Chains A and B, each alone.
Chain A
Amino acid sequence: MNATVRVSVIALFCLAAAACAKKQEVKPPPPPEAPTTTTAPTTTEGAFTPADLQSNSCLRTRVIYFEFDKSAVQSQFNNIIACHAKYLRDRPMARMTLEGNTDERGTREYNLGLGERRGNSVESALEAAGASSDQIKVVSYGEERPVCREHNEGCWHQNRRVNIVYTTE
């Protein structure tokens, strides 16, 4: 009995080791595309409608990326901020959640704070462009929701982001 147990336990560890050794290939998603705004929000005729969330290339862009340990919205995202702010102005019933995220460096709780700061920074930019604070909620997930799990800058860059999620269109 004893020998059986021992052999089986060894076999078990081998199984476990094999399971561990099986590396999961985690490919980084393609690098975030530079926001291409064919429809500049200021030139949009009339008010946005929910259909524009699918068809308007600016409104379809729902991610804003950040520099390491920074929460300022970079100027290349001004167009994105402007069109989403216009959408919120045009549709006062619309609601959005800004999900703040960070890369894995630094501690989990600090990164919750940093993700919130990024969310707040996008909220401020939207409000400065005319959106109402009632329309915007910020949630920080810190480093808990990475889109990429490799330990390099290419991956970290994609995780330092605020996701714009419309909860009411």
Chain B
Amino acid sequence: MRVIRILPLLILALASLLFGTQALAQGLTVQIVNGVPSAIPITVVPFGQQGSGPASPVDIAQIVSMDLDRCGKFRTLPTGEIVESPTTGSQIEFATWQQLKQDYIVVGRTAYDGGVLRAEFELWDVNKQQQLLGLSITGQGSDLRRVAHQIADQIYQKIIGVRGAFDTRIAYVTMVGLGKNAQYSLVVADSDGYNPQTVVHSHEALLSPSWSPNGNELAYVSFESGDSAIYIQNIATGARRVVSARPGINGAPRFSPDGKRLVVALSFQGNVEIYTLDLATGALTRLTHNLAIDTEPSWTPDGQNVIFTSDRSGKPQLYQVPAGGGTPQRITFQGQWNGDVAVSYDGKKLAVVQGNGNVYRIAVIDRSLGGQETFVSPGNLDESPSWAPNASMLLYAATEGPRGVLYAVSADGRVRQRLVLGDGDVRSPAWGPYRTP
């Protein structure tokens, strides 16, 4: 009886210890939408322990496996099928892993002492019996999970030949409560949804977070003054400034690739138009002159052009205009409704919200393949696509019953993972840039 009464308290105490006050309901599920025949089979053996210190508080091998699985390019061997437990390359029996049809194997050890985690790992080619990587990575404090993400990044880069993007952050908005009791939060978390930190609270709507290219700041729209205004906030210090609070709409901020300008949607001149805003001088340059709704601008990676949503032809479609001004050219022709573009780092892929009837899905348009389109989300109310910095994956917001949720999906749409991020309605995801390790 006594035990039963104490247990809930113990759970709460542990919960606050483990997760802080945020994200009590945090959890992750990987959902394989279609088989991925091309996914590379790889085994990440649970890491051994080194030294006499306590065990690592984070399961490095498990985090690395989840990272590799959700990007869609790998298929890790389930823990139950890992029949041997080598922790160094010399302990690997290659015949075992060849029989299990594994292409690669990762082994490693951790030492945890004085709050510092040190992980040594080796990546081996199973068929060639050849070591590809042997590295040591350390982390401390709130960065323990980053050690695993950095290992996953190293493995990804070695095998795929592209920089990994697991050691990155995401931003998103949550809303709990309704009407006057609504509480909005702008949250920054690891790319897998862990370590959520609220950076802004508001009783009015927050939307459209955009990362500065160095990852230090977020631009966003807040209605906290009653009208919309665009803020830029330093994530580490919390210091922030208003960069546009003109009459009418102050919306859709996106940092330029060099971080010196924002492109925004403003309606102070009577109708919502696209402008660039020089952050040093405050100077505005107007890019559109049309009675349509022109909004959701995004830079091309070279900073030379802006792609935006406009309903000048009837329904919303995407248009491209030179960032210094010029004549907008329509660039989407499939689908009744196209908007909210996210441009990949190389400019080749555009992720858009494409609506047909009442179904809104995320489509990826490959400009290098003549505009070939792939739907990467099932609908019906999917929005806010955002690319990982290496374009291997996308985040987007979906509606499930009464609440909004976020999904991470591989760029080919085949592997989809739901991020369960605390209570309430989750929306407006933005994937941050690469971090300096």
Could you list which residues of chain A lie within 8 angstroms of chain B, going by C-beta atoms? 2, 5, 8-9, 11-13, 15-17, 19-20, 23-24, 26, 69, 104-110, 112-114, 116-117, 138-141, 144-145, 149, 151
| Residue among A19, A24, A110, A139 making CB contact with B316, cutoff 8 Å | A110
User: Is B11 within 8 A of A8, CB to CB?
Assistant: yes
| Residue among A12, A16, A26, A112 making CB contact with B295, cutoff 8 Å | A112
A88 CB to nearest chain B CB (Å): 19
Stretch from B86-94, B150-158, B220-228 that touches the partner? B220-228
A109 to B401, CA, bound (A): 22
User: Is A107 within 8 A of B381, CB to CB?
Assistant: no
Q: Does B46 contact A (CB under 8 A)?
A: no
If over half of A's interface residues share one DSSP class (helix, strand or loop), that class is named, otherwise mixed; here it is helix
User: Is A109 within 8 A of B208, CB to CB?
Assistant: yes
User: Is B358 within 8 A of A105, CB to CB?
Assistant: yes
User: Is B27 within 8 A of A110, CB to CB?
Assistant: no
Count residues of B near A (Cβ-Cβ below 8 Å).
51
User: Is B11 within 8 A of A12, CB to CB?
Assistant: yes
User: Is B251 within 8 A of A109, CB to CB?
Assistant: yes
| Residue among A20, A106, A109 making CB contact with B265, cutoff 8 Å | A109
A69 to B292, CA, bound (A): 13
Interface residues of B in 170-222 (CB under 8 A from A): 205, 207-208
| Residue among B14, B249, B358, B420 making CB contact with A112, cutoff 8 Å | B249
List residues of chain B with CB within 8 A of the CB of A117: 293
User: Is B7 within 8 A of A108, CB to CB?
Assistant: no
User: Is B295 within 8 A of A113, CB to CB?
Assistant: yes
Closest to A71 in B: B293
User: Is A105 within 8 A of B11, CB to CB?
Assistant: no
Q: Does B24 contact A (CB under 8 A)?
A: yes
User: Is A110 within 8 A of B11, CB to CB?
Assistant: no
User: Is A110 within 8 A of B355, CB to CB?
Assistant: no
List residues of chain B with CB within 8 A of the CB of A110: 293, 295-296, 309, 311, 316, 339-340
User: Is B402 within 8 A of A108, CB to CB?
Assistant: no
| Residue among A5, A19, A106 making CB contact with B14, cutoff 8 Å | A5
A23 to B309, CA, bound (A): 36
Closest to A26 in B: B402
List residues of chain B with CB within 8 A of the CB of A105: 355, 358, 360, 381
User: Is A16 within 8 A of B27, CB to CB?
Assistant: yes
With contact pairs A12-B11, A140-B249, A151-B381 given, residues A109 and B295 touching in the complex (Cβ less than 8 Å): yes
A15 to B296, CA, bound (A): 39
A sample of 9 more A-B contacts (CB under 8 A), given A12-B14, A110-B295, is A15-B11, A16-B24, A104-B399, A106-B339, A110-B340, A112-B265, A113-B295, A116-B272, A117-B293
